[in-house]
Amino acid sequence: MDTRAIAEEWLVRLKNAWEGGDSEAAVALFSATREYYERPFKPGTTQEEFGRYWADIHGLRDIKFDYTVEAVEGRLAVAHWRNSFTSPDDDKSWLLDGVFFIEFDEEGRCIVFRQWWFAAD
């Protein structure tokens, strides 16, 4: 299993889904039995929270998502990412900078996902 190649492909697909506002495509990158941690000290999200989280990308404007795969070990990839967008609610521009820990199954779907991010001031 070439985890680096799988991670690169997975992140390209995530980038396309995120920048295209396609929450269904984003959700499809994850196994149905995945563990998903939106914040480092928050318990894993429920199925309902997971769906709401990704549905929130609808309506965002000026989305740009970039990443670099920093490390790979077994089925785990670590990526540094940056995301900028404008919120439709308040017309505020955001810049997020963070890290993903992504573990893959044999089919290249994410089975464990942890993210840490900070919003720039």
Distance CA 98, CA 76 (A): 17
For the stretch 90-120, pLDDT in tens is: 899 999 999 999 999 999 999 999 999 999 8
For the stretch 18-66, pLDDT in tens is: 999 888 898 889 988 888 888 777 767 766 777 777 777 778 899 999 9
What pLDDT score does 49 carry? 75
Distance CA 110, CA 3 (A): 11
Which among 120, 119, 101 is positioned nearest to 110, based on CA atoms? Answer: 101
- Residue spans of the domains in the chain: they are 3-119
Q: Per residue in 40-76, is it b (16+ CB within 10 Å) or e — as a string? A: eeeeebeeeebeeebeebeebeebebebebeebeebe
What pLDDT score does 86 carry? 93
Q: Average pLDDT of 53-80?
A: 91
Instruction: Match domain 3-119 to its CATH number in 3.10.450.50, 2.30.40.10, 3.30.70.990, 1.20.1250.20.
Output: 3.10.450.50
Confidence bin at 88 (pLDDT 50/70/90): confident
